[in-house]
Amino acid sequence: MDQKVTAPTIEKKTLIGQRVKKPDAPDKAIGKTRYINDMVLPQMLIGKVLFAGRPHARIVSIDTAAAERLPGVHAVLTGKDAAGLRFGFVRDNAALKDKVRCEHDEIAAVAAESEEIARQAIGLIEVVYEDLPGVFTPEDGAREDAPQIHDNFPGNKSLYFEFSHGEVAAAEADSDFVVDNVFRPHHVTHCCMGTSCAIADFDHNGKLTIWTQTQYPYNYKMDLAPALGLQPGDIRVIQPPVGGAFGSKLDVYPYEPIAALLAKRTGRPVKVIYSREEEFKASPTRQPAIIHMRTGCTRDGTLTFRTADVLLDNGAYTSWGPTIPVIMMRTVSGHYRVPVVDFKAQAIYTNNPYAGSFRGYGNVQTTWATAQQMDMLADMVDMEPLAFHLKNSQVSGEITPQKSFLRECVLVECLETAAGASDYSRKRKEYAAARAEPGRYKKGIGLASSIHNAGGAKIHKSDGIGTILKVDDYARVTVITGASEIGQGIDAVITLIVAEELGVPLEHVLIVNNDSDIAPWDVGVHASRTTFIAGNGTRRAARKAKAQILAAAEKMLGEPADTLELRGGSVVRDACGTPLIKLDRLLRQMHFQAEPELVMVTDYYEPKSEPEGAKHVSDHSAAYSHAVHVAEITVDTLTGEITVDKITMAQDVGRVINRMGLEAQIEGGLAIGLGYALSENMLLDRGLLKNPCFRDYKLLTAPEMPPLDLHFIESDCAEGPYGAKGISELPTIVIAPAIANALYNATGVRVFDPPMSPEKVARAIDAQRQAAGG
C-alpha cells in the first residue's frame, strides 16, 4: 500500500486499569434487554406452586380434582409425581414434597394457560395436613427429644466440620487476656430485583432445555438431573439476562425441577416465576449462625489462640448454607497470625427456611465475630487498635495453619492506608473521650478487616474454565466462554482483555456465554473467582490467537514476530508503532492464501490451587486478599438510629483491570453489607416469615448510602491476570463489624446479633443507662 509511508504511528496504550463500559449497558438502559422474566415462548404455559404455609406437618391427603377440572389447566402435580427424585448435596430435597418441613415447602404445582387460571387452580387444591411439633432453633433441634425432621438424619444432624491446630489449653494458659462472646448473625436474603424464574421445554427425544438464572451452568446440569430422573447430558442450560443473583442461583431450587416436571407432563414450555412475596418466602437465605468465639492474646498484644464453636440453623434442607464452615474456618485460622486454632461447626435441621450461598459466603458471619473481638482485645490490652492489628498482621510469604499461602500479602498497607486516610486513631480516641459527655448525638469510628479467597476456591474437583476464541475475516473477535454474566461485569473484563491483547476496538469483541451446549466448562460465578479465572482464560486464549496472527504476519511481512505487535486494529512494529498492515486484511490474507488458516483457538485454564480436602489443610485458592474498612457514624442515642457518615476502604485488588467495574462491585458489595448491618432482617415466628415484602424487609435506599473513600492496593498477584485478584465479596464481608466497632466507640454498647436496627440500639443504650443507675 502506497500510503504506508504516511500512516501515523500507533502509540502503545494499555487498557489495564482504565474505565470500560459494560457492553450490555446500553440495551439495559433503553429497556431493550429481554430478561428471563420477560420471555414468552409460543405455547408457553404458566406454572404455579402451592406452598405449605406451615412449618412442619404430615400431608394426610391432597385432592386435586377440582383444580384439574378447571378450564385452562393442563397439569396438576403433587409429591407422588416427584417420588424417588431426590436432589441436593445430601439428597434430602425434592421438587414436590411428601411431608412439610418448612413454610415454603412445595406441595403441588399446576400448569395453566395463564397466571390467573394457575392461581385459581392452586386455590382449588385441597390439602389436609396434620401439624407436627416444630423445631425453630438449632439448640432446640439438637435436643434429644426434639421432633425429627428427616427420618434418615437422626438427631437432626446435618453437616459437621472441624479443624484444629495446636493445643488450645496451653495457649490459653499463656494468654493474659481472653475475650469470649456469642455472636448470632441472622437470616437475610438476596432480594434480587428480578424474581426467581425458570422456563423448561422438552424436545421429542426427551432432551430438556431450561432457561434459568443459574450462575453455575455446568454443575447445575449434574445437580438438576436427579430431581428429574434425567442424565446431566440430556440437559441444555440457557442463561438469559438476569435481575441479579448474588449467590442465590448457585444451587438447584425446587421451582426449577417443577418447571421441568410440568413441561414434561404437558409437552409444552412451562414458565415458573415468583411474585415478590414468594421470592421472600421461597428463595434461599444467608446462613444464620450461633458463633461462640474465644480469642486470646498476651500483654504485649500478640494473639495466642482463637476458637470457634459454631451451631448452624440448617433449615429444612441442605443447600450451600451449611457448607459455609469451609470458608468460616479459613478466617478463624488465617486472619492475623493465630498460632493455635480450634474450629467446630455443626449444622442442625430445623423447620426454618434454608440457606444457600450469598456474596461473602460464611465470611460475613465469621468476620462479624473476629473483627469485633480484635477491637475488644485491643481495649483489654490497652493498645491502640491499629497498632494491635499491625502487630498481628501477616506479611507476604506467610502460610496459615490451614496452609493458605499468602504469597502477596498487603494487609499492613491496607491497614495503614484505611486508618491514615480516615484519621482513625485520633478520632477513635476523641470519640471515646466524648462518650460520657452530655449530648444526644454521638460520633463513632470503627475499623474492621478480613481475608478472603481471591483466586477461586477449589471446593470442586476443578476450579477451571474453558475458552474458545475466534477471530473472523473482519477482525471481529468472538469469545466463547464458560464465565457467566449475572450483572457483575465479567463481560467488560473479557472485552477489555481481548482488546488489550489483540489491539481491536472494544466494540469488536463479542461474548457468547449463555448456552451450555456451546460454551465450555466453568465452575460458576462464585468465590470472587470470575475476573481471576476467566480473566486468565481469556488472556491465555487471546495470546494464543495473537501468536498465530503474528506468526502469519512474520511470514507475510518478513519481519520477526517478536518485533511485531497488535495495536489499533493493525499489525505494528512494536518499537516504533509504525503500522504495517490492517489486522482484518491480514486475517483475510491468512484465510484465502494457498495454505489457508482461520484463527480459532481453545484454552483450558486450571488455577494452581489445591483441592479443599476433607482435612481442610490445603492451599485451596490461587490467591488471597485482604480488606480494611473504617466506618464513621453518628448515633442518635435516643432513637437508636445509626447514620453512616463515611466509609473509608482499602482493599488488595492485585491489579485494577476495569476501574469502573471494580468500583461498581465494591460499592454494590458495600451496600449489601450495610443493609446486613443496619436494617435487613427476616422476621421468623415459629418458622413463618412475617415480613415478606420490601415495606418491612428494609433494603438500603439511595439517601442512606454514605460517601465512600475507596483505596485500591495493588499487590500484583503473580498468578492473577495482569496481577489482578478477585474482589467482589470482601466489601460485603467487612463493613458490618466496622460499624459495630464504631457503635461501641460512640456509645460503649455492643450488638452481637445483627442488624443494628434503631430499636435494638435504643434498647441497648437504654439498658446501659439503667445499669448505670438512670
Subset of 225-284 contacting another protein (CB under 8 A): 241-246, 275-276
The nearer residue to another protein, 357 or 757, going by C-beta atoms, is 757
Q: How far is the CB of 674 from another protein (least distance, A)?
A: 8
Report the alpha-carbon distance of residue 353 to residue 684 in Å, rounded: 9
The closest of 483, 499, 501 to 491, measured between CA atoms, is: 483
531 binding another protein? (CB under 8 A) = no
- Cβ 619 to another protein, closest distance in Å? 32
Residue 190 within binding range of another protein, rule CB under 8 A: yes
Residue 367: name the closest of 344, 336, 396, 337 by CA.
336
Give the rounded distance of the alpha carbon of 505 from its chain centre. 31
Rounded to a whole number of angstroms, the minimum distance from the CB of residue 339 to another protein is 38
Residue 80 or residue 690: which is nearer to another protein going by CB? 690
Helix (H) or strand (E) holding 61, with range, is strand 57-63
Residue of 464, 482, 535, 661 interacting with another protein (CB under 8 A) = 661
Give the nearer residue to another protein in terms of CB position, either 244 or 267. 244
By CB under 8 A, tell whether 286 contacts another protein. Answer: no
Which residues are within 8 A (CB) of 348 and not within 5 positions of it... i.e. 6 or more apart? Answer: 135, 138, 141, 142, 156, 157, 158, 311, 312, 313, 314
Q: Are 58 and 130 in contact (CB under 8 A)?
A: yes
**Nearest distance, CB of residue 702 and another protein, angstroms:** 4
Decide whether 438 or 558 has the Cβ nearer to another protein.
438
Taking the complex as a whole, how short is the minimal distance between the CB of residue 283 and another protein, in angstroms?
A: 13
Give, to the nearest 10 degrees, the angle between helix 490-502 and helix 530-557: 20
Burial class (CB in 10 A: 0-12, 13-18, 19+), 178: middle
Comparing C-alpha atoms, which of 394, 562, 578 is closest to residue 4? 578
Task: Tell me how far apart the alpha carbons of residues 736 and 40 are, in angstroms, rounded to a whole number.
Answer: 41
Task: Please report how close the Cβ of residue 761 comes to another protein at its closest, in angstroms.
Answer: 11
| Cell numbers 438502559: residue | 29
Q: Please, which residue, 25 or 170, has the CB nearer to another protein?
A: 25
Name the minimum Å distance from CB 263 to another protein.
Answer: 21
Site for another protein in 19-58 (CB under 8 A): 19, 21-22, 24-26, 28-35, 37-38
User: Contacts with another protein in 73-92 (CB under 8 A)?
Assistant: none
> Is residue 439 a contact point for another protein (CB under 8 A)?
no
Of 45-53, 362-370, 534-542, 759-767, the segment contacting another protein by CB under 8 A is 759-767
Q: Which of 50, 678, 727, 746 binds another protein (CB under 8 A)?
A: 678
Extended beta strands in 606-668, E state: 624-636, 642-652
Q: Is 310 in the site for another protein (CB under 8 A)?
A: no
- The nearest distance, CB 194 to another protein, in angstroms, is 5
Q: In the window 564-603, what residues touch another protein (CB under 8 A)? A: none
**Does position 698 bind another protein by CB under 8 A?**
yes
What angle do the packed helices 730-747 and 363-381 form, to 10 degrees? 40
CB 682 within 8 A of CB 697: yes
Q: Is the peptide bond before 755 cis (omega within 30 degrees of 0)?
A: yes
- To another protein, the closest distance from the beta carbon of 645 in angstroms equals 14
Of 481-510, binders to another protein (CB under 8 A) are: 486-489
Closest distance to another protein from the beta carbon of 758 (Å): 6
Q: Closer to another protein at the Cβ: 645 or 704?
A: 704
Is 660 near another protein (CB under 8 A)? yes
CB of 641: closest distance to another protein in angstroms? 6
Site for another protein contains 192 (CB under 8 A) = yes
Ordered DSSP codes for 286-297: PPPEEEEEEEEE
Size of the site for another protein (CB under 8 A): 72
Residue selected from 128, 395, 547, 638 as contacting another protein according to rule CB under 8 A? 638
Of the residues 98, 379, 574, 663, which one makes contact with another protein according to CB under 8 A: 663
Stretch that binds another protein, among 79-87, 303-311, 623-631, 753-761 (CB under 8 A): 753-761
Least distance to another protein, CB of residue 543, Å: 27
Q: Does 694 contact another protein by CB under 8 A?
A: yes
Among 670, 647, 630, 642, which residue's Cα sits nearest to residue 757? 642
Q: Assess 362 for contact with another protein (CB under 8 A).
A: no
Quote the cell numbers at residue 16: 489495564
Measure the CA–CA gap between 557 and 575, rounded to whole angstroms.
16
Q: Which of 491/652 has CB closer to another protein?
A: 491
Residue 705 in the binding site for another protein (CB under 8 A): yes
**Residue nearer to another protein on the CB measure, 204 or 695:** 695
Q: Which of 594, 702, 771, 772 binds another protein (CB under 8 A)?
A: 702
The beta strand positions in 550-641, using DSSP E, are: 564-567, 570-573, 579-582, 599-605, 624-636
Estimate the crossing angle of helix 385-392 against helix 363-381, to 10 degrees: 110
| Amino acid code (one letter) for 499 | A
Smallest separation, CB 639 to another protein (Å): 6
Residue with cell 470457634: 308
Contact (Cβ atoms closer than 8 angstroms) between residue 36 and residue 211: yes
* Alpha-carbon span 273 to 36, nearest angstrom: 9
